[in-house]
Amino acid sequence: MLQKENSIPGWFISKAQPSLLDCAVRLTKLLDTPQDIAFLAPAIVREIYYRLLMGEQGEAVRQMATSGSNIQRIAKAIELIKSDLSKPMGIEDLSAQVNMSASSFHRHFKAVTSLSPQQNQKLLRLLKARHLMLAENTDAASTAYQVGYESPSQFSREYSRMFGAPPIQDIKHLMGR
């Protein structure tokens, strides 16, 4: 009997088992003997996968690794959103691209990311904008258009809500000015 796949959240918190921690420590200790890394690291990594699959979060790990799972579909949708942040995102089109109905897509997206697709796109746009202003020294108005905002004032309001200060003040603060 096939089991229906449930939505698994994208974030997991649970206690790490001592056996998993032991693997992590052994993998890290290989840095002390670089000549052993090529031979021993693959076996330890394989053991880590085993420990994760057999642990409390095993079902979530299996879904992440299963081709066509809802988690993988949502990950693909996020990559599609990120590929062109300036483009308006249509839920119908996006859900069709990942072979899901719009309602199922929205429900699973929210379960995995804790955000709606629109909230996720806004977050990604604002993070990209912040990066552009910091790394490429672009001004807020041109950055707003570059990441898909139609209005610099709307961009500034949403940026302030997200980061606690208008773009110019936030960037000056981050740059230590």
Q: What is the mean pLDDT of each run of 10 residues along the chain (177 residues)?
A: 48 79 95 94 92 81 67 88 87 92 91 89 95 93 94 96 95 88
- What pLDDT is stored for residue 12 in this prediction? 60
Cα(177)–Cα(164) distance, rounded to whole angstroms? Answer: 17
Helix-then-strand count for the chain, H and E: 10, 0
Global pTM value: 0.66
Q: What is the third-level CATH fold of 119-174?
A: Arc Repressor Mutant, subunit A (1.10.10)
- What pLDDT is stored for residue 62 in this prediction? 67
Paired tokens of 41 = 């690291």
Name the one residue in this structure whose structure tokens are 């002390």: 32
Cα(142)–Cα(147) distance, rounded to whole angstroms? Answer: 9
- What pLDDT is stored for residue 1 in this prediction? 37
The sign one gets for the Cα dihedral 106, 109, 114, 119 is negative
